[in-house]
C-alpha cells in the first residue's frame, strides 16, 4: 500500500473551508438556511424540487411511470434545485427538507401541504398514494421494502465512499479506494445473486425497489457514473447488467432521467417540467435554438 500523508487529528476539529475537493464550496458542518428564498409553486398538486442525480431521478422516474400507467393525479411540476449554487440552503427548501438535500416533494392535494423528504420516503409515499409499484400482499410488500431500505443504507458506501474517493477526491488514496471498492463489489454480488433468481429486484414485479436501485447500481454497471465499470469489472455481474439494460429501455425511465437534468446532451436536458408536452417542446436544444 502507498504511504498516506501523515496526519494527526487536532483535539477539536475546526472547519477549514479551503480543504479542497469537488464539493468544498457547498459542504458545511451546520444545518439550517443560509438565505431567504421561497419555493415556487406550480399548477399541479405535486411539486418536486430536485436535480437529476441518482437520488433525484428515482422520483421523476416513478412519477413518469405512474403517469404512463394512467394515474393522471401524478401530474407534477419539477423545479430545478442547483445544489452547486447552494439552492438547497434557501429557507423555502429547508422548510421542505430540513436536511438540505434533493429530492424534496410537497403534496398540495389535501387540506394542508404535506412535505416529503428522503428519496425512499418519497417513493413509498407516492406508491401508497397511487396504489402502484408496491405489492399489496404483505410478504411481497415486505420484500420490496427490504430492498428499498437496502438501497438507502447501501448507496452511501457507493456514492459517498467509493465514488467520492475514486472519482472526486483531490488525491487518490489507496486505502480508501480499496476499502470502498471491496464493499461496492460485495453489494454488486448481492444484487447479482438476487437478480439471477428474479426478473426484478423484489420478485416478479417491477417496483419502487427497482426504481431506487437502478440509478445507483444500474448506472454503475452501465458506466454512467464515476467511469468505474472497468475498474470494478462490472461486466461480470451479468444479471445486474441484464436487468439494468432492460429498465433503461422503458419510456418512463427515459423521460424521468431527463427531468431537472443540467448535464449531457442538450436534447436530454429538461431543466423544469410542468407539463407532459415539455419533453417535446422545452428540452435545452429547443430552448437554445429559439433564443
Ligand X SMILES: N[C@@H](CCC(=O)N[C@@H](CS)C(=O)NCC(=O)O)C(=O)O
Q: Binder to ligand X among 39, 80, 101, 180 (CB under 6 A)?
A: 101
Q: Is 102 in the site for ligand X (CB under 6 A)?
A: yes
Per-residue mark of binding to ligand X, 210-239 (x: CB under 6 A)? ------------------------------
Grid cell for residue 67: 403517469
- Cβ at position 242, least distance to ligand X in Å: 26
> Which of 97-105, 106-114, 142-150, 264-272 is the region at the interface with ligand X (rule: CB under 6 A)?
97-105
> Which of 39-47, 99-107, 189-197, 249-257 is the region at the interface with ligand X (rule: CB under 6 A)?
99-107
> Which of 95-103, 224-232, 260-268, 269-277 is the region at the interface with ligand X (rule: CB under 6 A)?
95-103
- Compare residues 97 and 284 and give the one whose CB is closer to ligand X: 97
- Compare residues 119 and 194 and give the one whose CB is closer to ligand X: 119
Q: Which of 152, 173, 151, 153 is nearest to 162 (CA)?
A: 173
Q: Is 83 in the site for ligand X (CB under 6 A)?
A: yes
Cα torsion 239, 240, 241, 243: sign: positive
CA distances from 270 to 49, 127, 257, 265 (A): 14, 24, 9, 11
Q: Which secondary structure element, helix H or strand E, spans residue 79, and what is its range?
A: strand 76-80
Q: Is 261 in the site for ligand X (CB under 6 A)?
A: no
SS3 content of the chain, % helix, strand, coil (to 5): 50, 10, 40
Q: Which of 248, 180, 191, 189 is nearest to 215 (CA)?
A: 248
Q: Binder to ligand X among 118, 199, 272, 275 (CB under 6 A)?
A: 118
Q: Are strands 46-50 and 76-80 parallel, antiparallel or unpaired?
A: parallel
Grid cell for residue 48: 418536486
Q: Binder to ligand X among 44, 48, 53, 180 (CB under 6 A)?
A: 53
- Cβ at position 168, least distance to ligand X in Å: 13
Q: Which of 225, 153, 164, 226 is nearest to 190 (CA)?
A: 153
Backbone angles phi, psi at 35, to 5 degrees: -160, 160
Q: Binder to ligand X among 55, 60, 269, 284 (CB under 6 A)?
A: 55
- Compare residues 153 and 174 and give the one whose CB is closer to ligand X: 153
Q: Is 119 in the site for ligand X (CB under 6 A)?
A: yes
Q: Which secondary structure element, helix H or strand E, spans residue 275, and what is its range?
A: none
CA distances from 116 to 61, 86, 120, 123, 237 (A): 16, 20, 10, 10, 34
Q: Is 151 in the site for ligand X (CB under 6 A)?
A: no
The residues that touch ligand X, with contacts defined as CB under 6 A, are 26, 53, 55, 83, 88, 100-102, 118-119
Amino acid at each position: 500500500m502507498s504511504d498516506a500523508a501523515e496526519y494527526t487529528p487536532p483535539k477539536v476539529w475546526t472547519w477549514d473551508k479551503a480543504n479542497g475537493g469537488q464539493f468544498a464550496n457547498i459542504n458545511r458542518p451546520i444545518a439550517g438556511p443560509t438565505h431567504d428564498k421561497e419555493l415556487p409553486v406550480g399548477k399541479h398538486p405535486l411539486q418536486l424540487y430536485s436535480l437529476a442525480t441518482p437520488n433525484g431521478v428515482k422520483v421523476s422516474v416513478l412519477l413518469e411511470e405512474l403517469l404512463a400507467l394512467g394515474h393522471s393525479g401524478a401530474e407534477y411540476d419539477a423545479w430545478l434545485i442547483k445544489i452547486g449554487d447552494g439552492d438547497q440552503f434557501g429557507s423555502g427548501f429547508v422548510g421542505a427538507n430540513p436536511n438540505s438535500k434533493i429530492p424534496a416533494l410537497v403534496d398540495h392535494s389535501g387540506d394542508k401541504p404535506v412535505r416529503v423528504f428522503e428519496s425512499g420516503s418519497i417513493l413509498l409515499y407516492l406508491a401508497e398514494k397511487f396504489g402502484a409499484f408496491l405489492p399489496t400482499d404483505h410478504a411481497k410488500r415486505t420484500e420490496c421494502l427490504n430492498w428499498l431500505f437496502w438501497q438507502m443504507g447501501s448507496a452511501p458506501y457507493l456514492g459517498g465512499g467509493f465514488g467520492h474517493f475514486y472519482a472526486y477526491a483531490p488525491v487518490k488514496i489507496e486505502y480508501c479506494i480499496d476499502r470502498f471498492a471491496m464493499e461496492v463489489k460485495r453489494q454488486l454480488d448481492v444484487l447479482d445473486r438476487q437478480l439471477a433468481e428474479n426478473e426484478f429486484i423484489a420478485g416478479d414485479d417491477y417496483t419502487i425497489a427497482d426504481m431506487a436501485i437502478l440509478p445507483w447500481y444500474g448506472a454503475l454497471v452501465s458506466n454512467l457514473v464515476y467511469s468505474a465499470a472497468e475498474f470494478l469489472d462490472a461486466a461480470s455481474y451479468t444479471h445486474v447488467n441484464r436487468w439494468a439494460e432492460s429498465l433503461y429501455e422503458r419510456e418512463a425511465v427515459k423521460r424521468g432521467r431527463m427531468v431537472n437534468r443540467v448535464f449531457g446532451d442538450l436534447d436530454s436536458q429538461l431543466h423544469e417540467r410542468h407539463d407532459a408536452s415539455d419533453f417535446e417542446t422545452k428540452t435545452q436544444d429547443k430552448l437554445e435554438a429559439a433564443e
